[in-house]
A and B are shown apart, each in its own frame.
Chain A
């Protein structure tokens, strides 16, 4: 029998809170009810709006105080969420499985010591050029926390997952903003289908509530600094994304491996395709997505399908993704509901595609879909529960990808 990649564990944390149930009940309810529950903070990082993390104790699964002290909030959020996924898959603490479980994480940089940086920048600004270098050296040697670098290093989210949860088969970290999240899932899936892995933990985390993180995105003017608006409604004001603190990890497992240990399963990952458009000319993103779609090899008219869009709200990516989806759906002659989950959860960069994959897995397992998040015509009513879900990942400045997940009808035990 051909090898298949199944999702057998989910960890998801966002502004809505923690776990599949809260996400299902909040995003599956009517828009009116949902809007009252979605957190939007427009003051702490003004002029930017962020979705702060919901009520979650992210230290619950990190018992050692010494471990917690070594991590930034980004890392603790990721380590916590990875722990949720392991527990959900029923493998937390299973030394034999964890010892051969592979880990693929999508990450950017960690967090700097903002207070230290602020103090030093002020000091340097009043130092004459000749003394500046010496002052910088002295200040760094005496003021930087020795472990700060470990809190910043991209691969230390994975490193901390290894230390806290003992996932030690192999470990790799991918970089590249949004598409790194989908590439991580692609690597996991391809290795499983290709016989190079049996069980993989994969995902990412993002802490939106920091000015040092926001600076990276403001340098490219990618942030939304207007009153809150849904993802599809920002183009007229130039577009931009609303960062949201979130994390998602998935346990992806070979079919036979999952069945042999009696694992529950959410969905099958049928295909993941990633690319990088040059984005030089108008329509380049549409062209790249059209090519990616060919490799996805999915006909919207064949089976009831829903689309979870990872659109960020940044331009021109969001308008081009909208055009691509409209065209694809229009040519299928079928009603295909689209949900841009960034409207509700904010945009979580490296964690954003894993969040979409987690929500897709959840919807397929619960045999339903989400209520529209917005008035946009793409967010049409869902008439039939989807048997397939396409997740899109079009990065705010780079990276285009599509994933296809399918419902598991037989052979798998319901959770």
Chain B
């Protein structure tokens, strides 16, 4: 291994050689990217199920090309497969069905949805008992074995492992809305330990169903500005009132630089470092001083051996909730210092909505594209900037810029904070 294959701390340099995306703006990186920089929104009025009685009636949903009936499991799997397939094809790694490394995948909750529960309930009769007693009796008839994949916690990971032929235990993980970034962090750690030469990282989430929506609605996390749908997600504005739940999948193939070079693969970008800091203040809110968010950003910079002065752009978590955007702004000004007013910041969630478990992976792909194309996608709906937020938001239209290093932020319920430092080129 030559010194060029190592980072400044002497660890194997980790590069990205393949990317895949499925979002409410399209299937594939190029379709999503062209619509992002054109300022489009993927948020629409929900047509998947009736929304009578709901406060929020908009979302960023994805239908499958096959028109498969919706279930969180099937849709989350379908878009994960498409994103992973695209990333693997681009990287040209391995042979079809034989990926030469492990899988790290972030998946949404594995659970039965109401139509499935009703199916079980109505199959058994009263003599079986009430509630879950009756569901158990129905399950014992062995006529509902198709439902097990929806309830098993790693069924998506297992299908992906079989399809792509990844090595070893496919790791399913959950760090809430930081999960997508965690897959890249854990893979990076593994490659640096020398325990693999490549890894497939995927984040996926397709949970726009009634209870999925209601949960966040009851936590007052969602925007209720339903009309027009595309104007609801407005990160960093004065009128922001919540996030928009959305579906999406992002995938990257990461490799040691040495491995990529040896097989003649072009690095699309570099995973320079990652930082994680857990919060202990509240289940859904950050410490008022932002110390955990600040800690995650600083740990990422230290891990990447990068000064805050060298960050050219921030791909923000930017959910459009009053709480997140304020805390992220306060924290960025601590980390970036005086430069906070001049470092361009954008939130892809203004266009894609919040893809929850997938967001960190989706936004990592967008960050890599930003560096490669020299264009920063806009934060749309930015018409009334919040005067308390002193960031240089890439407002409404895409901005051309030379971007060498990006800080990509992901924060989640349960005090999860993960930040990635991504670079355009090795060394």
- Which residues from chain A sit less than 8 Å from chain B, CB to CB? 70, 103, 107-109, 114-115, 117-122, 124-125, 133-134, 136-138, 140-141, 144-150, 152-156, 158-160, 162-163, 166-177, 179-180, 183, 187, 190-191, 194, 196, 211-212, 214-216, 218-221, 274-276, 278, 397-399, 401
Contacts and interface: CB of A to CB of B under 8 A. Distances in A.
Contact of A109 (B111, B216, B217): B111
A180 to B, nearest CB: 7
B299 to A, nearest CB: 8
Contacts of B162: 278
A121 B131 contact: yes
B360 to A, nearest CB: 12
Contacts of B282: 163
Contacts of B215: 144, 148-149
Contacts of B173: 172-175
Contact of A215 (B50, B135, B413): B135
Contacts of B6: none
Given A103-B278, A214-B136, A137 B214 contact: yes
A183 B169 contact: yes
Given A115-B131, A163-B281, A167-B278, A137 B51 contact: yes
B280 A168 contact: yes
A190 B186 CA distance: 11
B182 A211 contact: no
Given A109-B111, A171-B276, A176 B153 contact: yes
Given A118-B132, A125-B122, A133-B49, 9 more contacts: A144-B214, A155-B414, A168-B279, A171-B415, A173-B174, A176-B157, A183-B171, A214-B136, A276-B169
B223 to A, nearest CB: 16
Given A175-B153, A175-B173, A215 B136 contact: yes
B174 A163 contact: no
B148 interface: yes
A379 to B, nearest CB: 28
A196 B214 contact: no
11 contacts: A70-B283, A103-B278, A145-B218, A148-B215, A152-B111, A158-B414, A160-B283, A170-B276, A171-B416, A174-B171, A398-B158
Contact of A163 (B122, B170, B217, B283): B283
Q: For A109, A155, A167, A399, which residue has the most chain B Cβ atoms within 10 angstroms?
A: A155
B142 interface: yes
B74 to A, nearest CB: 16
B175 A173 contact: yes
B175 A150 contact: no
A153 B413 contact: yes
B284 interface: yes
Nearest to B116: A219
B152 interface: yes
Given A176-B172, A180-B154, A168 B292 contact: yes
A117 B414 contact: no
Contacts of B170: 176, 276
A137 B118 contact: no
A278 B276 CA distance: 33
A144 B210 CA distance: 12
A107 B107 CA distance: 13
Contact of A153 (B109, B117, B136): B109
A108 B280 contact: no
Interface residue tally of chain B, by bracket? 35 or more
Q: For B110, B173, B276, which residue has the most chain A Cβ atoms within 10 angstroms?
A: B173
Nearest to B107: A175
A407 B368 CA distance: 48
B12 to A, nearest CB: 12
Interface in B202-252: 210-211, 214-219
A40 B50 CA distance: 46
Interface in B88-140: 107, 109-112, 114, 117-118, 121-122, 130-136, 139-140
B77 to A, nearest CB: 15
Contacts of A114: 131-132
B412 A155 contact: yes
Given A170-B276, A215-B136, A276-B170, A177 B210 contact: no
A79 B260 CA distance: 43
Which A-B residue pairs are the 5 nearest by beta carbons? Answer: A118-B131, A159-B414, A176-B154, A211-B132, A170-B276
A177 B153 contact: yes
A148 B212 CA distance: 12
B53 A137 contact: yes
Contacts of B53: 134, 137-138, 141
Contact of B54 (A115, A141, A218, A399): A141
A313 to B, nearest CB: 18
B277 interface: yes
B161 interface: yes
B66 interface: no
Contact of A137 (B168, B210, B292): B210
A171 B175 contact: yes
Contacts of A216: 151-152
B289 interface: no
Given A177-B154, A219-B139, A220-B152, A144 B172 contact: no
Contacts of B51: 137
B152 A218 contact: no
Contacts of A275: 168-169
A183 B153 CA distance: 14
Nearest to A110: B109
Contacts of A219: 139, 144-145, 147-148, 151
B133 A172 contact: no
B214 A134 contact: no
A117 B131 contact: yes
B192 interface: yes
A337 B133 CA distance: 40
B341 interface: no
Given A172-B175, A191-B189, A215-B139, A220 B145 contact: yes
B193 interface: yes
B415 A169 contact: no
B114 A136 contact: yes
B50 A180 contact: no
